Amino acid sequence: MKKLLPHLLVLMILICITGSISAQSYHFKEGFATNTPPTGWVMTNVSYSTTHNHDSLTGVYAAKMKPNESFVMFKALNTAADLAFFIQVRDTTVADNFHFLIEKSTNKVDWTQIGIDPCNMLDDSTWQPVTIHVNDAAPELYIRFHATAVGGTNTLGLAYVDDISVTKLEANPSDATLIDFSYNGIPVPGFTAATLTYNIEVPYSVEHATVAGSPNNASATVAITQPTNLRGYEADRTGTVTVTSADGTTVKSYKIIFTVSDYIYKIGFSNTGDGVMPLSGWRGGYTYTSITIPLGNHGTFPGDAALKFMRGQPDKIGYLNTAKYIKSDTLSFWLSVSDPDGVEQLRVEKKVLGGVSVPLGIITSADMSSSEWKLFTYPIKEDDSCEIILTPTLTAEGITRIWIDDLAMKGKHVSGLSVPDADKIQSISVFPNPASDQLFFNTKGENYNSLTVFDFAGNRIYNKEISRKTTGIDVSALQPGIYLIRFEGITKTTCARFVKE
């Protein structure tokens, strides 16, 4: 006893310092106190026995499972560390080929085996303890038992299971990972905790994006920086979720760099049925999608069909009318004709706000080809609401068909400048302008510490640290075009525009 006193004293001191001795936390400890399934459990073809109760936990029953019939599935768990239970198998023979399986799933559809035959399947009398190391951090996890017996004639074998427990997977205090990452409520495709940066293209119609993420360790701290301008510089188009671990030792920043699609819509057409329009709000008559195309699908955009214009009777004229879109810039589509008779035409129009139709062009039979797809492009250049109308002229009762595929509308070009930067253009002088090799600048005594060159779409091209002594940069490697140069200091940001010859 005297030898134990120093150790007991140390233990008492530790308890006083820490307040308690940490214990493993449990999702549940189930001893089957009643002959009904515990709350949230699914137990199929399972009966209850008091004769073979193990009785280490509170409860007078054990679950009795028949091979090939009985299943036990626990309620959904938020992570799992260790699964422990007691099992007793009775009335089995070698010929039964009796097996006891433990599986896990995150969706109750796809199951992964985590244990098989964790004890002696022929022991008729002894309760055997089993521990399975699950170690799964999934936020929604399901675990199930079931028994099988194949190849034998004796079907009387039974498995008794009792005193089941699952411990929680303790959070790592230095964990600074995300368990999910999303934008506008949409999960980031291909997200993994190990990948920090993602490039996402959003449709042209998207003007704002909100990023969100949940830490794997709920005690970690999360700070979120939202993108400010999806059509601005890369920094403006980036949303960041920064996670600081609970113990403060680890910091990870998950980023989404957004790019807005150039296209308001781009359609490759799918065989969705007669008269079914490709997008909401579109209208059409005697226009059908078909996969039976003389020249085959053009195939630039996804889709296995093409749009077919036809006319069956003199008073039934085919047409395609798109929905209304703003900031339309350029219309394009590929066209071919089958069984031409020299009369076929396609009229292309735009209808702007107020219902005024403006002709864009007429594609005549001489412009069409039955041996190849031909590309047609039309400038739209409308800020206000605008729809496109395609109307064919075809011989009544004829067999000529006009085919359209890969129909697209580009949006009007939007400068990569964010509004605050646009106001600062040319507040600093750069020369020569245009420049071919060297670009010089006069900072007028201002103290800037870095400069960044962007193309006019807002893509970052070049970055350099500078001082008051810096008077120019080499631009010889740049492609000809319009560029923006941004000077940044501690208290001031200034921009200028230059042309590279």
Same domain for 281 and 401, yes or no, is yes
Same domain for 327 and 396, yes or no, is yes
What does pLDDT average to over the chain? 83
- 7 within some domain: no
Overall domain count for the chain: 4
Over 90: is that where the pLDDT of 147 sits?
no
**What per-residue confidence (pLDDT) applies to 221?**
95
Residues across the chain: 501
- 302 within some domain: yes
- What pLDDT digit, counting tens, does each position of 337-385 carry? 999 999 999 999 999 877 778 999 999 999 999 999 999 999 998 888 8
Residue 123 — very low, low, confident or very high, per pLDDT cuts 50/70/90?
Answer: low
- What pLDDT digit, counting tens, does each position of 206-226 carry? 888 999 999 988 889 999 999
**What per-residue confidence (pLDDT) applies to 457?**
60
Q: Where are the beta strands (DSSP E) in 374-415?
A: 374-382, 386-393, 401-411
Same domain for 283 and 217, yes or no, is no
Is residue 73 within 8 A of residue 122, CB to CB? The reply is: no
Same domain for 118 and 193, yes or no, is no
CA dist., res. 409 & res. 177, Å (int): 40
Same domain for 104 and 121, yes or no, is yes
Q: Calculate the alpha carbon distances from 54 to 36, 62, 229 in Å.
A: 17, 7, 64
- 19 within some domain: no
Laid out side by side, the sheet with 429-431 consists of: 429-431, 438-442, 472-474
Looking at 139, 167, 195, the residue that finishes a domain is 167
Is residue 218 within 8 A of residue 171, CB to CB? The reply is: yes
- What pLDDT digit, counting tens, does each position of 240-273 carry? 999 999 999 999 999 999 998 889 999 999 886 6
Looking at 116, 141, 167, the residue that finishes a domain is 167
Same domain for 451 and 493, yes or no, is yes
Provide the 10 A C-beta neighbour count for residue 148: 14
**What per-residue confidence (pLDDT) applies to 387?**
94
Is residue 291 within 8 A of residue 271, CB to CB? The reply is: yes
Same domain for 402 and 297, yes or no, is yes
Query: The domain spanning residue 494 has which CATH number?
Result: 2.60.40.3080
Report the half-sphere exposure of 109 (CA within 13 A, side-chain side).
Answer: 1
Higher pLDDT, 439 or 458: 439
Over 60: is that where the pLDDT of 143 sits?
yes
- 335 within some domain: yes
Over 50: is that where the pLDDT of 153 sits?
no
Domain of 445, in residue numbers: 419-500
- What pLDDT digit, counting tens, does each position of 6-28 carry? 443 333 333 333 333 345 689 89
**What per-residue confidence (pLDDT) applies to 330?**
92
On the question of a cis peptide bond just before residue 420, with omega within 30 degrees of 0, the verdict is: no
Q: What percent of the chain has pLDDT over 90?
A: 39
Same domain for 301 and 239, yes or no, is no
- 295 within some domain: yes
Same domain for 52 and 149, yes or no, is yes
- 132 within some domain: yes
Over 50: is that where the pLDDT of 5 sits?
no
Tokens of 329: 């810039």
Looking at 391, 411, 431, the residue that finishes a domain is 411
Same domain for 314 and 355, yes or no, is yes
Same domain for 139 and 34, yes or no, is yes
pTM: 0.51
Is residue 446 within 8 A of residue 489, CB to CB? The reply is: yes
Same domain for 249 and 367, yes or no, is no
- 205 within some domain: yes
Query: The domain spanning residue 205 has which CATH number?
Result: 2.60.40
Query: The domain spanning residue 355 has which CATH number?
Result: 2.60.120.200
Provide the 10 A C-beta neighbour count for residue 259: 16
Is residue 348 within 8 A of residue 303, CB to CB? The reply is: no
- 304 within some domain: yes
Q: Please give the span between the terminal C-alpha atoms of the chain, in angstroms, as a whole number.
A: 93
Residue 122 — very low, low, confident or very high, per pLDDT cuts 50/70/90?
Answer: low
